[in-house]
Amino acid sequence: MNLFDYLRPASVSDAIAAWQPGAAYLGGGTNLVDLMKTGALQPGKVIDIARLPGLDRIESLPDGGTRIGALVKNSVLAGDPDFAAAFPMIAEALASGASGQLRNAATLGGNLMQRTRCVYFQDPHSACNRRESGNGCGALGGDTQNHAVLGWNDACIATNPSDLCVPLAALDAVVETQGPNGRRDIAFADFHRLPGDTPERETALEPGELILAVRLSSNAAASYQNSRYLKLRERTSFAFALVSAAAALQLKDGRITEARLAIGGVAAKPWRVPAAEALMLGQPPDTDLFRRAAAVALEDATPSGNNGYKIDLARRIAARSLALAAAGTPTRMPALPASVFGESAHV
């Protein structure tokens, strides 16, 4: 690990003022510290924001929405009974991630900023455009079985590893930030970036900008009775998703009046296709409809190497998550949260 300066500011304003190029904000540290140990990241200054006041609250808003501070721990958010009742697929996604110890340390804001688990990014001796622009992509032509099938290009084929971000994308969350130029809101659909010509820019955050909170609207909670998160991984716990899906439906008189679907593990950001959601509107929920919607969601998918299996897997997970959502949200958290082995609905 390289030598670095360590600061613990007393306020958000002090934290932003302390930032400079090459600095990093430290929250729970479950991702940043690991990457510093391997040498994949070498910040010259670490700004510890874990104790900043006012960022660890879950608040009900006057319009019926919910505001979650950036320093709320994953375990606290998943275990809050009112939040879990309003947003069960977020609670299920959180409870399916990492381990109990890590969930006790990891924060909401840190989860949004989570770096890819691409082994070429994590190895400082491998070429990676995310670590250093213009350095090339070592994954191309390498081991790509866990890499992107959507939104990738020759600059980067990495995926976003977050469980939490998939339901946040499906529910049209808003990210509140503050930076050198003041405060602003970022629509979650715009928060994570595809590689394009600037693969080193993974999010819409500007230099020095800090996440304050995430907001969810009252409409996002309206599908609480029919929403699920489903995750397929190489082992049942403490593993990142090969593919995942968050599905939420609103039903009236036996027909779908609103549909939300986001897929994880397939791109550099949670993948959402409005055309797939529109296909389901006004239709009675059934397995054939969900298969067709899943096919539309993945119709642009292309392997980035030896990962073609992901395309069919993602279609199946998307269709199954919709079937589980249509069947109804469980009254209690499943024994194996988000696991395909803990469910009874098959597609």
Burial 305-343 (b: 16+ CB within 10 A, else e): bebeebbebbbbbbbbbbbbbbeebeeebbeebbbbeeb
- For position 159, what pLDDT does the model report? 98
- For position 2, what pLDDT does the model report? 85
Listed by start position, the domains of the chain span 5-51, 223-341
Q: Which two tokens stand for residue 103?
A: 């969930």
Window from 17-26, 192-201, 232-241, 243-252 with minimum mean pLDDT: 232-241
User: For the segment 145-172, what is each residue's pLDDT rounded down to a tens digit?
Assistant: 999 999 999 999 999 999 999 999 999 9
Q: Which of 64, 34, 125, 88 is nearest to 249 (CA)?
A: 88
Is the pLDDT at 236 greater than 90, yes or no? no
- For position 313, what pLDDT does the model report? 98
Q: pLDDT-based confidence at 175, cuts 50/70/90? A: very high
Query: Which residues have CB under 8 Å from 135's CB, separation 6+?
Result: 127, 128, 129
Average pLDDT of the chain is 96
Q: pLDDT-based confidence at 44, cuts 50/70/90? A: very high
Cα–Cα distance measured from residue 265 to residue 314, given in angstroms and rounded to the nearest whole number: 9
Is the pLDDT at 342 greater than 90, yes or no? no
Is the pLDDT at 120 greater than 50, yes or no? yes
- For position 312, what pLDDT does the model report? 98
Q: pLDDT-based confidence at 343, cuts 50/70/90? A: low
User: For the segment 216-226, what is each residue's pLDDT rounded down to a tens digit?
Assistant: 999 999 999 99
Superfamily (CATH) of domain 223-341:
CO dehydrogenase flavoprotein, C-terminal domain (3.30.390.50)
Categorise residue 327: left if φ over 0, alpha if ψ from -120 to 50, beta otherwise.
Answer: alpha
As a CATH number, domain 5-51 is: 3.30.43.10
Q: pLDDT-based confidence at 341, cuts 50/70/90? A: confident
Give the mean model confidence (pLDDT) for residues 255-274: 98
Q: Report whether 187 contacts 2 (CB < 8 A).
A: no
Is the pLDDT at 34 greater than 90, yes or no? yes
- For position 265, what pLDDT does the model report? 98
Sign of CA dihedral 311, 97, 228, 177: negative
- For position 340, what pLDDT does the model report? 85
Window from 31-40, 234-243, 271-280, 304-313 with minimum mean pLDDT: 234-243
Is the pLDDT at 335 greater than 90, yes or no? no
- For position 345, what pLDDT does the model report? 45
CA torsion, ordered 186, 319, 162, 10, to nearest 10 deg: 40
Is the pLDDT at 317 greater than 90, yes or no? yes
Is the pLDDT at 347 greater than 80, yes or no? no
CA torsion, ordered 251, 274, 150, 230, to nearest 10 deg: -10
